[in-house]
Each structure stands twice: as C-alpha cells, then as structure tokens.
Amino acid sequence: MTALLNEQEKPTSLHYKILFLSWAGWVFDFYDLVLYTFLLIPIGVEMGLDNIRLSWILGASLAATALGGVVFGVLSDQIGRKKVLQLTIVVYSAGTLLSGLSWGIWSLIFFRIITGLGVGGEWAAGQTFVGETFHPKVRGKYAALMQTGAPVGVALASVVGGLLGPEIGWRSCFVLSGLPALMVIYIRTGLPESDVWLESQRKGVQLKTSQLFADFIKKFLHLFSPEIRKHFLMSFILTALGLSAYWLTYSWMPGYLYQQRHFTMIKSAAWILVTQSGGFLGYLSFGFVADRLGRRPAFSIYSALMALGLAMITVFWDVVAQSAPVALGFMFMVGFGTGFFSGFGPVFAELFPTSIRNTAMGSAFNLARGIQFFTPVVVATIAAKYGLGGGIFLASFFALLTGAWIWAFPETKGKALDS
C-alpha cells in the first residue's frame, strides 16, 4: 500500500504545492476581509456614514463567516478539501469585486456578507488540507507557515487601501481585489485531493446528492455528541477569545491611528506594515516554538506579548510616543503576539477525527468569528467616551484569557492523525 502523504517525514514537491496554494488562498481570504478597514474612512465620507454604521458593515461580514464556516466545513467533509478550497475563493473574490459596485449602505452590506461567506469556509479547508498531508513531526511548523498568510494579507490590504486607495479610490480597490479568483484555475489542474480524506471516503459510504443535506445536518449535530462535544466547545471558546482579541485590535486600528493619533493615511498604513511584519515573524516562529515546547506554552507566551504591546500603544501611548522607535517596537510586538493564531490549525487537527475534522475546525473557528459581529461596534461605542484607543485596549484582556484557556486542553504535540 502506498504511504499517505502525512506518513512521509520529508516533505516533497507535492507537499509544498499544497502548502503554497492553501497559503495563497488564505492570503487573499484575509486580505479581502480586512481591506474594508483601510477603506472605511473614504467609504464613510462618500456615503455619509458615521463610525457606528461603518462598524455594522464590518460586523455583518464577520457574522457571515460563521455561516460560511459551518456550511463549507461540512461540505468539505462531504465532497473534498480541494473542491471547497476552489469554491470559497470564488465566493469571497466575487463578494469583494461586487463591493466596489455597491450603490448604498444596504447593497454594500449584502456584498460584504457574500465576502464573509467565502472567507468563513476557506480557512478550515486550507488548514485541514495542510494538517492532513504533513507528517506529525513537522505539522506545527507548516501549519504556521500557512497561517503567515494572515499578516501578509493585512500588509497587502494596507498597501492597497492605505497607499493605492487615495490614488484610485475605494471602489477600484474592491474591483481590483476580485482577481484572486483566477487562482482556482491552477488549483483545479495542479492540486491533488487530500489522500487522508480519500482514504476515509473509501472506508465509508459514498453519498448521493439527495443525501448531502441530511448528512450536513447529521455532521453538524455530531459536533454536540458526547464524544465530540467537550473538545468542540473548548475549541469554540478558545477561538472566540483569540478572535475577540484580534478584531478588537484591528477592526479600528487604521482609524485609531488616523483619527485619534492624527496620522496621515500613508503614515497609518506604514505603521500597520510594521505591525504585520511582526505578525509574519510571530506566525512563522509559533510553529517552531509549539513543536519544541508544546502547544499550550506557546499559546501563553505569544498571547502575553500581544497583551503587553496593546497596553503600551493605547493606555501608555503618551509615554512610548516620545520615541518613535519605541512605539514602533510595541506595534511590532502586537503583531508578533498574534502569532498564536498559528496554533489553531494543528491543535484542532490533532483533536478531531478525519470524518468530522473540517466540520469541527470550520464551525469552531467561524462560529467564533461570527460573534465578532459586535466587536467593531464595541470599539466604536467605547470610543465615544474613551477614544478608539480605549476600545482597542480591551483586546489585551482577551489576549490574556486566550493564553490561560489553552491550558484546559490536552497537550497534542506530535499526535498522529487517523485516516
């Protein structure tokens, strides 16, 4: 019998192809979601929207990721990782392109919801793909490499929205951002299906189209069965805490620098790039730390760094801003600390069996992301009294809670996956 890809200790060119295309899908997934935060100022000016209504638009797209995560997560366990990876890229690219053609707040909300649906499904499909094809000894490292797509996506959004946006307009930025759908052509011809998933299908019963909806409901309800429920709810809480820390930070970070710290759009984008360079190194290094020290200590270390950096660039801004290099150092630390997001993929892949893995990962991550519907509004509401910095500072508490909650989990470092 031919060895499965995840039984090969040394990655091959096929492994790297899976990694690169999953990574690229995640780059543009996150880029399309966060691009809005860099364009909300000109959108607000043209459409006459205040901060609260601008927050509701972002919140709607975040809420849609919950539905997308559940639907595409179950669909991936039914029809395969590769097909769902293609489908989600098409959906989020179409939503972003249409956002540039919106004619008012309600059409913009509708198109951002479409974007959110695709964004919600892509993460789990890509992380499951990587988790199922790399050997347990290196799974953490390569899952972390895939996760670096998030800071790269934010950095790209800061360049397009912060630097290019003032020149070509926010509508053109959205329309231009529909181009990643072209990746699907290459994925269709150049990427194999997960052999772990194929093996699990050979052992099971192939479903007819008429049975898919019934199986969809069955798989989702299985998340609450006695053997899965505990780990699923624990995973949901972990991602809810981590995502709250993230979106409380980034939903209004460009606006915070622009409105409260009186940066120009270009300077704001440049400082966000510093944060994302820290994020890239944090996401990248997390896998090495997690494979060396364990998943739980790595989570705690990185979340504590994020919390410290957030406190310094908000509550203690007047102190650190006396020296631009010091302030930029703490901006870098905030990004580096978000590296704990590289832990979600391997931890969840190691907790759940193949038959339910993508459903569990997609549902836990995206239901938690869906409740972030409220975080942009929370920041904008707190800002009315304490400034945007006051709302962003709240993220530090959620970062610390993330680092504490991970200790409720078993240590899964090096665990082999079933097929």
Tokens 């809420």, residue located: 63
pLDDT tens for 183-242 read 777 777 677 777 777 777 776 645 444 455 566 677 778 788 888 888 899 999 999 999
Q: Are 71 and 116 in contact (CB under 8 A)?
A: no
User: How wide is the angle at C-alpha 367 spanned by C-alphas 362 and 371, nearest 5°?
Assistant: 150
The better pLDDT of the pair 137, 33 is held by 33
**Range of weakest confidence among 53-57, 122-126, 239-243:** 122-126
pLDDT tens for 368-393 read 877 888 888 888 888 888 888 898 99
Q: Are 36 and 96 in contact (CB under 8 A)?
A: no
What is the CATH class of 11-185+210-408? mainly alpha
Q: Are 73 and 157 in contact (CB under 8 A)?
A: no
Confirm whether pTM is higher than 0.85: no
Mean pLDDT of the chain: 84
Output Rg (C-alpha) for the chain, integer angstroms: 20
pLDDT tens for 91-116 read 999 999 999 999 989 999 999 999 99
Flag whether pLDDT at 323 surpasses 80: yes
- Domain range summary for the chain, segments of one domain joined by +: 11-185+210-408
- Type of residue found at 149: G
What is residue 247's predicted lDDT score, i.e. its pLDDT?
86
What is residue 345's predicted lDDT score, i.e. its pLDDT?
76
Q: Are 44 and 54 in contact (CB under 8 A)?
A: yes
pLDDT tens for 61-82 read 888 887 887 788 777 777 778 8
Classify residue 210 by burial, with Cβ atoms within 10 Å: 0-12, 13-18, 19+: exposed
Helix (H/G/I), strand (E/B), else coil: 418: coil
Q: How confident is the model at residue 359 (pLDDT cuts 50, 70, 90)?
A: confident
- Type of residue found at 230: K
Flag whether pLDDT at 87 surpasses 90: no
